[in-house]
Structure formats: structure tokens, C-alpha cells
Amino acid sequence: MSSERSEEISPPASSQATVLVRGETIRDDDAITSRANDPQAKVGESKAADKDTSAPKAVSEAKVNMQARLPVLEDDADVGIQKDHVVIRDGKADLAFTGALLASAAPSSAPQGKWQEYRIYQTNGGKHVFSKVTRSIHAQEPDTHEADVFDPAPSSMPSQLLRSARDLTRAHPLTWNDAAVAFFGYDPLAKALYRKLGSQFEEHVG
């Protein structure tokens, strides 16, 4: 038989602190288990989490009224009327001119609280102004404004910049219709805008 004595190893003393809860002494892990099994504690924690994650965003009453009127825009009555206009542009000088609003378009609804508005103007000098406004009903999200001008003069810089390699090979010179498509594209709202201007934006196939 071996002369070696088996040593008894005593388990390490618990390092966990004890706390006094309602007159009872329990360990930290017991306190955690107790809180986890307490339905009222769970409800309190859930409400606190909901308050942090689902706080409602402040909305603009004026924007909510705009949303309720869609697809009607406040300047729809100005279509075809000669008047002074100021078209806002973010990061650039605003565009001031005298002319007429040719057409505008907006979606029929904005369930997420955001929408776009497209407009095309013609100035008394024969230029065209394209405007794209993105709106949100949320007060902390400001509207964004994009705009561009098409000058039919062949020597105008904007006109030349809009010409692609394919444009330069076309038989006809660049028109304001081409410039409008370059600015708005062919998304559903742009097509709705073009339909208000007639069939000139359609591609006729023989």
C-alpha cells in the first residue's frame, strides 16, 4: 500500500459578498436570481427599455398638414401663371427669376412621413429650372432642396456639362427635355411629372 496520504482539499471560501434584503441575508447570485424571477422587476426594466428605444419623434404640424393634402401641393394653383419665384438650393445660391411653373408632382401618400416634390419652371428668358424637394414631418429632419438651370444657349456651361458622349452624337441638339431627364431620371414620380407636360417625354417607336 502506498505510504502517501491523500490530502483533503477544502473548497475555496466563497468570495461572493452578501447583502441584506428584507431582513434576509442572501448572496449576490441569489439576488440576481431573485430579481430575474420577480415579475414586477421585469415590468419595470421593460418599461425603462421601451422609454429609451421608442420615444416618439417630434413632428412639425405644418408638415403633417402638407402630408395630409398629398398629392396636392400648395402652389398647384400657380401652374401657368407668370410671377416672381425663388427656388431654394442647399449649398448654393437660391434661384430668383420671373416665369411660370409648368408642372409639379408629389406622391399620393407618405406613410413613412417622408416624400419628394418635383417641379419644372420656365423663365421669361427661355431657361428652365428644375427643383426637387425632399420633406419629412419630423421636426429634427430638415427639408432638403436640389435645383438646376438649363440654358438653351449652346455656349452655356450647364448645357455643355449635361452632354454625354452619346448626346454629342445625336442628330438633334440637347433640349430642356433631355436636361429634365438628366435631373429627375425616370422614377415613378418623374414619370407622373412628365405626363403632365404631354407626350414629349415618351419614346415613340415606329
The dihedral sign for the CA sequence 63, 69, 73, 78: negative
Cα-based distances in Å from 193 to 9, 99, 117, 150, 179: 86, 18, 10, 17, 14
The domain limits of the chain are 18-53, 61-201
Q: What angle do CA 178, 180, 186 make, to 5 degrees?
A: 95
> Grid coordinates in use for 49?
427599455
For 68, counting Cβ atoms within 10 Å of its Cβ (0-12 exposed, 13-18 middle, 19+ buried), the class is exposed
How long, in residues, is the chain?
Answer: 206
**Averaged pLDDT, groups of 10, the chain, 206 residues long:** 49 48 46 52 53 71 95 96 97 98 97 96 97 96 96 63 53 84 96 94 85
Task: Give the containing element (helix H, strand E) for 30.
Answer: helix 28-37
**CA 128 – CA 180 distance, rounded (Å):** 9
What type of residue is 63? K
Residue 172 has a pLDDT of: 65
Q: Are 111 and 136 in contact (CB under 8 A)?
A: no
Residue 39 has a pLDDT of: 56
Q: Are 131 and 96 in contact (CB under 8 A)?
A: no
Residue 153 has a pLDDT of: 78
Helix axis angle for 28-37 and 39-53, nearest 10°, is: 80
16 three-class SS: coil
